[in-house]
Amino acid sequence: MAEYPFHDIEAKWQRAWEERKTFRTPGTVRRDQPKFFVLDMFPYPSGVGLHVGHPLGYIATDILARYKRMTGHAVLHPMGFDAFGLPAEQFAVEHGVHPRITTEANIANMLRQLKSIGLSYDWDRVLATTDVEYYRWTQWIFLQLYHSWYDPEADSARPIAELEAKLASQRADWAHLGEKERESILAEYRLAYLAEVPVNWCPALGTVLANEEVTNEGRSERGNHPVFRRPMKQWMLRITAYADRLEKDLAIVDWPEAIKLMQRNWIGRSEGASVRFPVVGSDERIEVFTTRPDTLFGATYMVLAPEHPLVDRVTTPDCAAAVAAYRDEAARRSDVDRQADSKAKTGVFTGGYATNPATGADIPIWIADYVLMGYGTGAIMAVPAQDERDWEFAEVFGLPIVRTVRPPDGFEGKAYTGDGPAMNSGFLDGLHVADAKRTMTEWLVREGHGRGTVTYKLRDWLFSRQRYWGEPFPVLHAADGRIRTVPESQLPVELPPMDDFSPAASDDPDAPPSPPLRRAPDDWRLVEIDGETWERELNTMPQWAGSCWYYLRFIDPRNSDRFVDPDLERYWMGPKGVDLYVGGVEHAVLHLLYARFWHKVLHDLGHLSTPEPFGRLFNQGYIQAFAYRDERGIAVDAEKVVDQHGNPAYEVQDRPDSAYFFEGRPVTQEYGKMGKSLKNAVSPDEINERYGCDTLRLYEMYMGPLEASKPWNTRDIIGVNRFIRRVWRVFTTEESGLRVADVDVPDDLMRSLHRTIRRVTDDMDRMSFNTAIAALIEFLSELVPLDVVPRTVAEPFVLLLAPLAPHLAEELWERLGHAQSLAYAPWPVAEARWLRRLTVPVAVQVNGKLRATIDVDPEAPEEDVLAAAKAHENVARFLENGTLRKAIYVRGRIANFVVS
């Protein structure tokens, strides 16, 4: 018997699908046909290609796409490349090769790898964010942001022209203002605006980074270089205007709770009150935000962030020197340093005082870097008795502490942050926290000292990067600082040709930023309009920009008039957005939040039909693998590691008593995410070569639940490979090519078949592909002893197999006499008459312990089943020892006798 010739058959079908464009999604839609838009998070086209961890999600979505085609859905299943970004640019800087060249070569290699797994994408829709015709529309979306403002009354973005009209009618002075003055007012409202803001400046990379791109240690996420805070004029996107809706609309999407929670935490909504403290001897008032207005009576001092604009006003001459020194130091310190000694509180007294509106007492004003300018108002009322940070600070500097919430008896801690009755708090005394908050907020409003407010942790999105390989901004600058945008009709603004792509990297945190585009040829950089020379914006957009809307472009990728056709958009996005979006958790906050923000803006402006982009989100787990390090702690090639008996490590790595060696030297075993750095990556090309891609697909799905992280174990692949080869042996013979015949099917086999259809269908619907495969393996073992496979059984089996192992299934389908691909063949339906079983095993328990199993008719009445159960010898034995108190029968499942 010849082995399954997987090389030939897989190549044959991949060629056939490609030539016939089997998986092309038509550009026109039938409104009455149900649709399924299934999307993978598109990859960065890396130079090293894929390892077996990457396609895990792609295989899962492919199975689903194939399944949905067979159940009559119009399926949109596209793939593309998030191709702007640092690695190609870094390579360009080092080797002088234009990033477009490396990017295109990498894309070609990854397309080859993706096609060799038999993925059923519509290859006519492939796009890259670096395509000029794609980033033209990224720039167009930026213009939409720039020309819009957020109207809090309508709770929606609106064209900036409407705001201008409104201001012109409301403000008497509007007509007399110059262009610059008007623009600086409008900039306060635009969704995209230039602002001098403290940014995360990374001199080593020569660029600024978004907060999200800076690690907790104050280093760059890419490259781990130190990051410094410094003010810089940069493009910002007003995502904070959408904080409330981004938070609220999490309720309408079907996403994993963990991801929703991460987004909620990132948005960081908190309710409280803002309170104004009059500064003693001045008209100034310090506004603070607090979540605990009920503790106002316990506010014994105030703290301003060192950058707070009122610091100079409240500082007295005798304290000026110390304050200036502290501010200087805070400004110069990188986030690394701040983090390092975050334990000890530091600060200085300004000499100024403010009046606590509740107690009437004058309390000292301090500055300290534990108060952050970027959150709330950059100032706090310090309530040491009910706040651990304030308590610590008060202890260090000997400031007064007054408890205003009574801690429970026996409380021995310092600050008490729990619930309890108010004390030392005048009209609040006795009230518990919730009531006290409400009462105090009402009092603040009545007395004109403050009001209830909501604050968010979310900051505006820093949108400029000092890089070459990104989307240019469609913006021009005049010498005097005026700004104008490039008209839509003149998009795209293409990247200029250059041979030196390096930013001005430096070790000096104070060196001025110098983006590569500063060296662009004058005929690109300078634009003359009506005799006036304008300079193009020299920053580019961050990598997140292109991935913010690619799912929309997939719907209509070649449209040259619009970013997406509205009718197609309504069909594919309706009613709840992308039907299934699969990718890694690493994008839980950044990508998903940014994309939702852009989507909402475009929705508000009338360009999109749905409030949310991704109706259902699914996170696949990581593929992990054992890795080995030598005595120096250096990772060694995991494939070459052996145990004490010389067996390859991958065959014995899960045994407890193994010792491991690399080239004769002992190594230690660890377990981690598959990748280059641990030298434990396995390439899909290897597996394809040795077992074929149907085996690779099945193994990746059979490893366990899609959402779980699980270990790759090359040894286990043989299991699903045996299944593939067994299917081949059972269905084919060498002579006639097919071992299938039109013969009668025994009822038992029909019942098995339909139970299998039921199981596989259910498992497809809940993406439980590992159990679907198990069901097929079980059913196949029933076919093994047969001389021929009845056609009635063979055809549905091949169809059930098709989404999982499409090459083998197509080949068998063709041999079964079908001229057409099975890609659109109807999915088998489980028939009720074959699902009904004649007898079922019922477990019989006595006092909850299994004593026997009896076969009964599932329709049999309870009395009969219980009688039969009691009659069983081993049950009777246990019933003798006591009195029967209770008998329970769950139809077709279990009987339980309670005896005492």
Partner RNA sequence: GCCUCGGUGGCGGAAUGGUAGACGCACACGACUCAAAAUCGUGUGUCCGCAAGGACGUGUGGGUUCGAGUCCCACCCGAGGUACCA
Contacts to RNA from residues 319-338, by CB under 7 A = 338
> Does 397 interact with RNA (rule: CB under 7 A)?
no
Of positions 225, 482, 603, 710, contacts RNA by CB under 7 A = 710
Query: Between the CA of residue 513 and those of 23, 201, 377, what are the distances in Å?
Result: 48, 9, 29
> Does 718 interact with RNA (rule: CB under 7 A)?
yes
> Does 711 interact with RNA (rule: CB under 7 A)?
yes
Q: Using an 8 Å Cβ cutoff, are 676 and 54 in contact?
A: no
Q: How far is the CB of 397 from RNA (least distance, A)?
A: 14
Q: How far is the CB of 801 from RNA (least distance, A)?
A: 14
What span, in angstroms and rounded, lies between the C-alpha atoms of 637 and 663? 10
Query: Between the CA of residue 333 and those of 7, 229, 230, 337, what are the distances in Å?
Result: 61, 8, 10, 6
Of positions 257, 318, 499, 523, contacts RNA by CB under 7 A = 257
Q: How far is the CB of 388 from RNA (least distance, A)?
A: 8
Residue among 42, 21, 9, 24 at smallest CA distance from 114: 42
Residue among 597, 598, 595, 589 at smallest CA distance from 212: 589
Of positions 665, 690, 715, 837, contacts RNA by CB under 7 A = 715
> Does 872 interact with RNA (rule: CB under 7 A)?
no
* 665 phi and psi angles, rounded to 5 deg: -105, 140
Of positions 68, 465, 599, 851, contacts RNA by CB under 7 A = 851
Residue among 712, 693, 578, 673 at smallest CA distance from 41: 578
Q: How far is CA 754 from the centre of its chain?
A: 38
Q: For residue 710, what is the enclosing H or E element?
A: strand 710-711
Residue among 277, 143, 272, 230 at smallest CA distance from 598: 143
Query: Between the CA of residue 162 and those of 186, 190, 487, what are the distances in Å?
Result: 11, 12, 19
Q: How far is the CB of 773 from RNA (least distance, A)?
A: 7
Of positions 853, 861, 882, 884, contacts RNA by CB under 7 A = 853
Q: How far is the CB of 529 from RNA (least distance, A)?
A: 43
Helix/strand/coil for 887: strand
> Does 656 interact with RNA (rule: CB under 7 A)?
yes
Instruction: Tell me the β-bridge partners of 405.
Output: 422
Q: Build a one-symbol-per-residue string for 775-804: x at contacts with RNA by CB under 7 A, - elsewhere.
A: --xx--x--xx-------------------
The interface with RNA within residues 290-319 (CB under 7 A) comprises 290-292, 305
Q: What is the largest CA-CA distance in the chain?
A: 109
Query: Between the CA of residue 731 and those of 561, 678, 725, 742, what are the distances in Å?
Result: 52, 42, 10, 13
Q: How far is the CB of 55 from RNA (least distance, A)?
A: 17
Q: Using an 8 Å Cβ cutoff, are 423 and 434 in contact?
A: no
Q: How far is CA 377 from the centre of its chain?
A: 30
* Strand arrangement, sheet containing 483-485: 483-485, 475-477, 532-536, 526-529
Of positions 51, 125, 276, 725, contacts RNA by CB under 7 A = 725
Query: Between the CA of residue 377 and those of 236, 294, 429, what are the distances in Å?
Result: 19, 19, 28
Nearer to RNA, 294 or 569 (CB): 294
Q: How far is the CB of 722 from RNA (least distance, A)?
A: 4
Nearer to RNA, 61 or 290 (CB): 290
Q: How far is the CB of 690 from RNA (least distance, A)?
A: 14
> Does 657 interact with RNA (rule: CB under 7 A)?
no
Q: Build a one-symbol-per-residue string for 577-616: x at contacts with RNA by CB under 7 A, - elsewhere.
A: --------xx-xx---------------------------
Q: Using an 8 Å Cβ cutoff, are 869 and 842 in contact?
A: yes
Of positions 45, 78, 203, 272, contacts RNA by CB under 7 A = 272
Q: How far is the CB of 838 from RNA (least distance, A)?
A: 14
Nearer to RNA, 302 or 809 (CB): 302
Nearer to RNA, 194 or 595 (CB): 595
> Does 4 interact with RNA (rule: CB under 7 A)?
no
**Using CB under 7 A, which of the segments 65-73, 526-534, 558-566, 842-850 binds RNA?**
842-850
Nearer to RNA, 16 or 876 (CB): 876
> Does 113 interact with RNA (rule: CB under 7 A)?
no
Q: How far is the CB of 65 from RNA (least distance, A)?
A: 22
Within 554-703, where are the H helices?
A: 566-573, 590-604, 649-652, 684-691, 693-702
Q: How far is the CB of 556 from RNA (least distance, A)?
A: 34
The interface with RNA within residues 534-573 (CB under 7 A) comprises none
Nearer to RNA, 317 or 656 (CB): 656
**Using CB under 7 A, which of the segments 100-108, 174-182, 374-382, 481-489 binds RNA?**
374-382
Of positions 55, 352, 378, 513, contacts RNA by CB under 7 A = 378
> Does 702 interact with RNA (rule: CB under 7 A)?
yes
What span, in angstroms and rounded, lies between the C-alpha atoms of 471 and 85? 10
Of positions 719, 818, 876, 879, contacts RNA by CB under 7 A = 719
Half-sphere exposure at residue 584, Cβ-oriented, CA atoms within 13 angstroms: 11
> Does 419 interact with RNA (rule: CB under 7 A)?
no
What span, in angstroms and rounded, lies between the C-alpha atoms of 535 and 690? 57
Q: Build a one-symbol-per-residue string for 676-695: x at contacts with RNA by CB under 7 A, - elsewhere.
A: --------------------
Within 488-645, where are the H helices?
A: 522-525, 544-547, 550-553, 566-573, 590-604
**Token pair recorded at residue 658:** 């193994």
Q: How far is the CB of 258 from RNA (least distance, A)?
A: 4
How many residues at the interface with RNA, by CB under 7 A?
A: 86
Of positions 16, 745, 843, 860, contacts RNA by CB under 7 A = 843
Q: Build a one-symbol-per-residue string for 188-217: x at contacts with RNA by CB under 7 A, - elsewhere.
A: ----------------------------x-
* Strand arrangement, sheet containing 74-76: 74-76, 35-40, 580-583, 617-619
Q: How far is the CB of 454 from RNA (least distance, A)?
A: 11
